[in-house]
A and B are shown apart, each in its own frame.
Chain A
């Protein structure tokens, strides 16, 4: 009928992705794309909340906020005058295991963006007035979180699922008391100790020749030396052995938010891919999978319900999230548990599994359509050591998954009797507190 006109371009792989590790330990991945005049640069350094104890929760994020508020060479105003006057974007953000950075601009500005990245990562200024501004912004965000049902349900859920010794128990944004007492010296010491080129990954995608990108990255960051202390392995996140539930209330709201879930498999766990397929069936495919069909379509009980599988470096959550009328919370929980039991008891029918595989493999071209999408995929590949040919192998890997693998994975990870449940209600119903 009609044919695609582009020359068949295969998924990014060893043929068209340049991967090189600089002598100082920075791994660089570059893919050329001259379809648009822009370039995207993103990556991470190995510094995060994991590196700090709970009594300074929020330190890593606070430090990255201040880092991008001025360097020894550039005041806050100079930094953003350079970025904004060329219509570029630039940002750094801290999370549990890494500090991510990203920038986008017209390709001619890549050297400038790299210079700014180098300056921010290596030479932040820690000016007291900028520390205080960043602190006020975080305290406002924490104030908003106290009254945000979705954020509070996530906070409570993490407290229920992970023991206090685990970094996932604690909020990356911190708490008013920890943010309130951190000093500029704390931030600077965190930076000095943990920011290093060792283990840093940088991806450049866009209208720049690969060899030019290598030269420019080397010129900006090649002389950075140093290493960071080795990390201890993450403490265990034991499987839940009870139904662990907490319901809290926030005044003056109308909708309830609930999260029900478990610690999930890490990305490199052998169960991850079967669990990923299972999660797609449960709460992603079509308009949010089987859960969407049951809760939203058949029973009209929620505006949204979906499931998500974190699958990162550690045992991030596998959870079901819903926004519902307070009167329907318990019915929704029962429907969710019924779907989980069905999942464990019955093999996924062959036709349904074929649909899911077709979706997972067919959606790849859309995910890789933009520079940002390719950058995300390559960062993922590098972070989890999946191999440069991963996207080319992906189809075969998904197609090989069987219904019994999916069921076995679900049986190991989705326990309908033992789970954590966080509910944030608008106001206290009679049976508000089930303990926790």
Chain B
């Protein structure tokens, strides 16, 4: 693979992947800011800043960027996560410099007009209310706030309602100025071009931006959990949902790979990679133990790649007429089995084959190629992605048993239940 890596004098990291499968290019800029960098009173600030970046500058007034991208047939969007905020444009390769122009400009020049901030307050509160309509959002928010007592991963990126009502224009602007600097950003570009030429154009657009003056503070570390925690949410509907989370190390840690294989054995391989497509998980251990036995309607697992220690999460929808307690007991019995007995070689080999296939699918589109360049750089570096399969291949049955014993302990878990009480008032 033809990969060019460089760091500009102002600290901006640039990764460029040249590939000639389609006449398009995808440009991503990643900022190391998300709910990880928030505190009470400021929750939702990163996500709101992301919205404000679509409100325009004097060079690119509101609407001009998205219309210009749309006019050439491109796509344009942004997203905020715990560890990052990212913006991307995928467009015909000849128009790539337009993406650079827009992104270099709005890294520095968004003015946060007070009237626009107020108008966006309603939009964001509406977004949160839309989320609140979903039982899984309510459960997830409660579980994260229970599993993390100190670390800001406890805040959903959309922010708490009270903060969304009180955050000020200046709060948001300061957040923007503190984190939207070239030395806190990563650019990832993939497409049908000559990488050297693109490097020079990137330098021209971004090279003159001033580096930040103060390095953002590291968030407070989460102290080790010492006993099991539980949280129950009661809400509307007739369906119950169970979710279990265990603290696990950050994505850079070598145990991330055995945990990824462990998840494939327990809950199926779909969690491997974004853009890899969805596999069914009907032969996974938990599907057999929960769905085949009519305790749950479905079961999903996810190993969250994160900058700081993250979570391993399992979520089930309870079968009608069954209880949260029954699903929990069956799920924990499977975790015990994983801790007590070595996984057989066929299960391990199946997980590896799924990983190989999903890895191949995940790089099919130019957009996904650029996504992976930047995403892996946020919590490790691109080598993490390049060595991903190799690292998964070397996982042994003993590794799985060891990580199951190390991380999937009662004291390290939070159990969350959503109880549907029809009208939500019981």
Smallest beta-carbon distance A207→chain B, Å = 10
Tell me the bound Cα distance from A362 to B97 in angstroms: 16
Q: Which of B120, B201, B357, B424 contacts A300 (CB 8 A)?
A: B120
Collect the chain A residues with CB atoms within 8 Å of residue B125's CB: 325
Within 8 Å of chain B (Cβ to Cβ): is A381? no
Q: Which of B74, B96, B355, B357 contacts A106 (CB 8 A)?
A: B357
- Asked whether B21 lies within 8 Å of A35 as measured between CB atoms, the reply is yes
Residues 249-280 of chain B: 1 if any A CB is under 8 Å from the residue's CB, otherwise 0?
A: 00000000000000000001100000001111
With A6-B192, A253-B133, A286-B63 already in contact, the answer to whether A300 and B360 are too (CB < 8 A) is no
- Asked whether A252 lies within 8 Å of B425 as measured between CB atoms, the reply is yes
Q: Which of A140, A325, A368 contacts B317 (CB 8 A)?
A: A140
Within 8 Å of chain A (Cβ to Cβ): is B66? yes
Q: Closest B residue to A253 by CB, please name it.
A: B133
- Asked whether B269 lies within 8 Å of A325 as measured between CB atoms, the reply is no
- Asked whether A86 lies within 8 Å of B282 as measured between CB atoms, the reply is no
Within 8 Å of chain B (Cβ to Cβ): is A401? no
- Asked whether B192 lies within 8 Å of A5 as measured between CB atoms, the reply is yes
- The stretch from A22-30, A88-96, A195-203, A212-220 touching chain B is A88-96
- Asked whether B320 lies within 8 Å of A140 as measured between CB atoms, the reply is yes
- The stretch from A51-59, A144-152, A338-346 touching chain B is A144-152
- Asked whether B73 lies within 8 Å of A365 as measured between CB atoms, the reply is yes
Tell me the bound Cα distance from A6 to B93 in angstroms: 11
- Asked whether B424 lies within 8 Å of A84 as measured between CB atoms, the reply is no
Q: Which of A84, A136, A298, A369 contacts B282 (CB 8 A)?
A: A84
- Asked whether A6 lies within 8 Å of B297 as measured between CB atoms, the reply is no
- The stretch from B207-215, B363-371, B407-415 touching chain A is B363-371
Q: Closest B residue to A76 by CB, please name it.
A: B282
In chain B between 85 and 111, which residues have their CB closer than 8 angstroms to a CB of chain A?
Answer: 90-94, 96-97
Q: Which of B74, B97, B193 contacts A5 (CB 8 A)?
A: B193
Within 8 Å of chain B (Cβ to Cβ): is A359? yes
Residues 338-381 of chain B: 1 if any A CB is under 8 Å from the residue's CB, otherwise 0?
A: 00000000000010011111101101111100000000000000
In chain B between 296 and 320, which residues have their CB closer than 8 angstroms to a CB of chain A?
Answer: 297-298, 317, 319-320
Collect the chain A residues with CB atoms within 8 Å of residue B72's CB: 358-359, 362
Within 8 Å of chain B (Cβ to Cβ): is A185? no
Tell me the bound Cα distance from A193 to B63 in angstroms: 53
Smallest beta-carbon distance A434→chain B, Å = 22
Within 8 Å of chain B (Cβ to Cβ): is A396? no
Within 8 Å of chain B (Cβ to Cβ): is A181? no
- Asked whether A4 lies within 8 Å of B127 as measured between CB atoms, the reply is no
- Asked whether A1 lies within 8 Å of B350 as measured between CB atoms, the reply is no
Residues 172-212 of chain B: 1 if any A CB is under 8 Å from the residue's CB, otherwise 0?
A: 00000000000000000000111001100100000000000
Residues 316-339 of chain A: 1 if any B CB is under 8 Å from the residue's CB, otherwise 0?
A: 000000011100100000000000
Within 8 Å of chain B (Cβ to Cβ): is A287? yes
- Asked whether A366 lies within 8 Å of B294 as measured between CB atoms, the reply is no
- Asked whether B283 lies within 8 Å of A77 as measured between CB atoms, the reply is yes
Residues 370-394 of chain A: 1 if any B CB is under 8 Å from the residue's CB, otherwise 0?
A: 1100000000000000000000000
Collect the chain A residues with CB atoms within 8 Å of residue B294's CB: 133, 136
Q: Which of A4, A81, A90, A150 contacts B23 (CB 8 A)?
A: A4
Chain A interface: which size bin?
A: 35 or more
With A250-B236, A365-B92, A366-B75 already in contact, the answer to whether A301 and B122 are too (CB < 8 A) is yes
Within 8 Å of chain B (Cβ to Cβ): is A226? no
Collect the chain B residues with CB atoms within 8 Å of residue A251's CB: 236, 422-425
Smallest beta-carbon distance B257→chain A, Å = 17
Tell me the bound Cα distance from A146 to B269 in angstroms: 31
With A87-B279, A144-B237, A300-B119 already in contact, the answer to whether A255 and B132 are too (CB < 8 A) is yes
Tell me the bound Cα distance from A89 to B280 in angstroms: 7
Q: Is the contact region of chain B dominated by helix, strand, or loop, or is it mixed?
A: mixed
With A87-B355, A147-B420, A255-B129 already in contact, the answer to whether A358 and B237 are too (CB < 8 A) is no
Within 8 Å of chain A (Cβ to Cβ): is B232? no
Tell me the bound Cα distance from A144 to B54 in angstroms: 34
Q: Closest B residue to A299 by CB, please name it.
A: B119
Within 8 Å of chain B (Cβ to Cβ): is A186? no
Collect the chain A residues with CB atoms within 8 Å of residue B66's CB: 286-287
- Asked whether B279 lies within 8 Å of A325 as measured between CB atoms, the reply is no
- Asked whether B194 lies within 8 Å of A5 as measured between CB atoms, the reply is yes
With A2-B194, A366-B74 already in contact, the answer to whether A303 and B24 are too (CB < 8 A) is no
- Asked whether B63 lies within 8 Å of A80 as measured between CB atoms, the reply is no
Smallest beta-carbon distance B358→chain A, Å = 6
Within 8 Å of chain B (Cβ to Cβ): is A189? no
Residues 121-146 of chain B: 1 if any A CB is under 8 Å from the residue's CB, otherwise 0?
A: 11111110110110100000000000
With A5-B193, A77-B283, A255-B129 already in contact, the answer to whether A87 and B269 are too (CB < 8 A) is yes
In chain A between 1 and 37, which residues have their CB closer than 8 angstroms to a CB of chain B?
Answer: 1-2, 4-6, 8, 35-37
- Asked whether B197 lies within 8 Å of A38 as measured between CB atoms, the reply is no
With A91-B280, A139-B320 already in contact, the answer to whether A300 and B123 are too (CB < 8 A) is yes
- Asked whether A147 lies within 8 Å of B132 as measured between CB atoms, the reply is no
In chain B between 217 and 239, which residues have their CB closer than 8 angstroms to a CB of chain A?
Answer: 235-239
- Asked whether A302 lies within 8 Å of B236 as measured between CB atoms, the reply is no
Within 8 Å of chain B (Cβ to Cβ): is A143? yes
Smallest beta-carbon distance B422→chain A, Å = 8
Q: Closest B residue to A364 by CB, please name it.
A: B73
With A85-B353, A139-B320 already in contact, the answer to whether A362 and B123 are too (CB < 8 A) is no
- Asked whether A136 lies within 8 Å of B320 as measured between CB atoms, the reply is yes
Q: Which of A38, A147, A287, A355 contacts B361 (CB 8 A)?
A: A38
- Asked whether A38 lies within 8 Å of B360 as measured between CB atoms, the reply is yes
Q: Closest B residue to A91 by CB, please name it.
A: B280
In chain B between 17 and 66, which residues have their CB closer than 8 angstroms to a CB of chain A?
Answer: 18, 20-24, 54, 62-63, 66
Q: Closest A residue to B161 by CB, please name it.
A: A254
Within 8 Å of chain B (Cβ to Cβ): is A241? no
Within 8 Å of chain A (Cβ to Cβ): is B118? yes
Smallest beta-carbon distance A205→chain B, Å = 11
Tell me the bound Cα distance from A256 to B3 in angstroms: 47
- Asked whether B365 lies within 8 Å of A369 as measured between CB atoms, the reply is yes
Within 8 Å of chain B (Cβ to Cβ): is A83? yes
Q: Closest A residue to B272 by CB, please name it.
A: A87
Smallest beta-carbon distance A9→chain B, Å = 8
Collect the chain A residues with CB atoms within 8 Å of residue B350's CB: 84-85
- Asked whether A80 lies within 8 Å of B283 as measured between CB atoms, the reply is yes
Q: Which of A81, A252, A301, A328 contacts B423 (CB 8 A)?
A: A252
Smallest beta-carbon distance B75→chain A, Å = 7
Q: Which of A80, A136, A355 contacts B67 (CB 8 A)?
A: A355
- Asked whether B357 lies within 8 Å of A88 as measured between CB atoms, the reply is yes
21 A-B pairs whose Cβ atoms sit less than 8 Å apart in the complex: A1-B97, A36-B361, A77-B283, A84-B269, A85-B283, A86-B357, A87-B354, A143-B238, A147-B236, A147-B238, A149-B133, A254-B133, A286-B67, A300-B118, A302-B126, A303-B127, A325-B122, A362-B71, A362-B92, A365-B24, A368-B22
Could you list which residues of chain A lie within 8 angstroms of chain B, going by C-beta atoms?
A: 1-2, 4-6, 8, 35-38, 76-77, 80-81, 83-91, 104-106, 133, 136-137, 139-140, 143-144, 146-150, 250-255, 285-287, 293, 296-304, 323-325, 328, 355, 358-366, 368-371, 426
Pick the 4 closest A-B CB pairs, nearest first: A362-B73, A87-B357, A252-B424, A252-B236
Q: Given known contacts A303-B124, A325-B126, A370-B365, what 16 new A-B pairs fall within 8 Å (CB)?
A: A83-B279, A86-B353, A91-B280, A136-B294, A140-B320, A252-B423, A252-B425, A254-B129, A254-B130, A254-B132, A297-B119, A300-B123, A323-B130, A359-B73, A362-B71, A363-B74
